[in-house]
C-alpha cells in the first residue's frame, strides 16, 4: 500500500499530537515477615508518573484465590492493562495496587498466620516503603474466590481500616464450604490428621465478624460479583452476603451477576467494575508532606 504525501503528513500529525498512553509499572517484591518467619512476596503496580510525582497515592490491596500466588492478578487478571486504561479515562484515581502472596486463605489457619502477617507485617511495610496514603480513606481491598473471602473477613473485622472493598466470587461459604471447594483440602483448614476442620472454618468465616460489624455505625462499601454458572454456587453465597448487609448499608452495596463460572474470565470481566466501585470512595493522590 502506497501512502500519498497528504496521508503521510496526516499520519505524522496524529502520532505527534496523540495523547500518550499511560503505562504503569509492575514489579515483584519481597520483605522479611516476622510473623511468618520467611520472606513475604508481593507484586506491586505503580501508576504512570509515580517516580517523579512527589505525591502520596491511594492503595488498593488485591488478594489471590486458593493455591494462588501474588502474580495471579497480573498474569491471569490483566490487572496492568485494566488499571492503565481506567486511570487514563479518569474512571479511577491513580493508585498503587498491591497484590500479596499467601500460603493460606488469608486467615490464621493451621499452616500459617496469614491474617496477622497481613495486618502487622504487610500493611506497615507498604506504608513505609512506598508513597501511599496511611489513612482509612486512602485504602481499599478486594480479591477473587478465597481472596474475596479474605477481603470480606478483613473489612468486617476492621472496618476502621478500609474505605471500600470488592469480593469477586467470594468463597465465603456458610455454614460450610461445598464438597468440591478447595477449602476442604487446603492446609489452612486441615488438622494434624489432614482432615478438614469444621470448627476452625466456623471460627474464621465472615459470619464470626458479622454481628459486631452490624452493631456499629461505620460501613465499608462493598462490591460483590459472581458467575451465574459457578459450580461452587458463589452466586447464591454472594446473594446471601448481600441480604445480610443491605439493611445496614443500602446505598453502599452492589451485586453484579455475570455469565460464566468460577474462572478468570468472570474475574477479568468484573475487575473494571470492582476497581471503579472502590475508586469512587478513595482519596485522590496528594502532595507528600514535607
Report angle CA 6, 9, 15 to the nearest 5 degrees: 145
Per-residue pLDDT of the chain (290 residues; tens, 9 = 90+): 334 545 544 444 443 344 446 689 999 999 999 999 999 999 999 999 999 999 999 999 999 999 999 999 999 999 999 999 999 999 999 999 999 999 999 999 999 999 999 999 999 999 999 999 999 999 999 999 999 999 999 999 999 999 999 999 999 999 999 999 999 999 999 999 999 999 999 999 999 999 999 999 999 999 999 999 999 999 999 999 999 999 999 999 999 999 999 999 999 999 999 999 999 999 999 999 75
Q: Which CATH class is domain 22-287?
A: alpha beta
pLDDT score for 290:
55
In the chain, domain spans: 22-287
**What is the DSSP-derived secondary structure letter of residue 45?**
E
Q: For 260-281, what is each residue's pLDDT tens digit? A: 999 999 999 999 999 999 999 9
Q: What pLDDT sits at residue 6?
A: 52
The pLDDT tens digits of the residues spanning 104-124 come to 999 999 999 999 999 999 999
Output the pLDDT for position 23. 86
For 222, which DSSP code? E
Q: Which residues pair with 30 in a beta bridge?
A: 41
Question: How many CA within 13 A on the CB side of residue 236?
Answer: 10
Burial 187-223 (b: 16+ CB within 10 A, else e): ebbbeeeeebbeebbeebbbbebbeebeeeeebbbbb
- Which pTM value belongs to this model? 0.92
Amino acid at each position: 500500500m502506497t501512502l500519498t504525501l497528504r496521508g503521510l503528513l496526516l499520519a505524522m500529525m496524529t502520532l505527534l499530537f496523540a495523547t500518550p498512553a499511560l503505562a504503569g509499572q509492575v514489579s515483584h517484591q519481597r520483605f522479611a515477615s516476622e510473623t511468618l518467619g520467611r520472606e513475604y512476596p508481593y507484586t506491586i503496580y505503580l501508576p504512570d508518573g509515580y517516580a517523579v510525582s512527589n505525591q502520596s497515592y491511594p492503595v488498593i490491596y488485591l488478594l489471590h484465590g486458593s493455591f494462588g500466588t501474588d502474580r495471579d492478578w497480573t498474569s491471569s487478571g490483566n490487572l496492568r492493562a485494566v488499571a492503565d486504561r481506567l486511570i487514563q479515562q479518569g474512571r479511577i484515581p491513580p493508585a498503587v495496587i498491591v497484590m500479596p502472596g499467601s500460603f493460606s486463605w488469608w486467615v490464621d489457619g493451621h499452616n500459617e498466620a496469614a491474617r496477622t502477617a497481613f495486618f502487622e507485617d504487610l500493611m506497615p511495610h507498604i506504608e513505609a516503603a512506598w508513597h501511599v496514603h496511611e489513612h482509612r480513606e486512602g485504602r481499599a481491598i478486594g480479591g477473587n474466590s478465597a481472596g474475596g473471602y479474605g477481603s470480606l473477613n478483613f473489612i468486617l473485622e476492621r472496618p476502621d481500616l478500609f474505605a471500600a472493598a470488592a469480593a469477586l466470587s467470594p468463597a465465603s461459604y456458610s455454614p460450610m464450604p461445598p464438597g468440591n471447594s478447595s477449602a476442604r483440602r487446603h492446609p489452612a483448614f486441615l488438622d494434624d490428621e489432614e482432615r478438614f476442620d469444621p470448627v476452625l472454618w466456623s471460627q474464621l468465616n465472615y459470619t464470626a465478624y458479622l454481628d459486631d460489624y452490624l452493631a456499629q455505625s461505620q460501613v465499608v462499601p462493598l462490591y460483590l460479583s459472581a458467575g451465574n454458572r459457578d459450580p461452587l454456587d458463589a452466586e447464591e453465597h454472594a446473594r446471601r452476603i448481600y441480604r445480610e448487609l443491605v439493611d445496614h448499608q443500602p446505598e453502599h452495596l452492589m451485586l453484579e451477576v455475570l455469565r460464566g463460572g468460577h474462572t478468570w474470565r468472570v474475574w477479568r470481566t468484573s475487575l473494571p467494575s470492582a476497581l471503579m466501585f472502590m475508586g469512587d470512595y478513595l482519596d485522590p493522590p496528594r502532595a507528600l508532606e514535607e
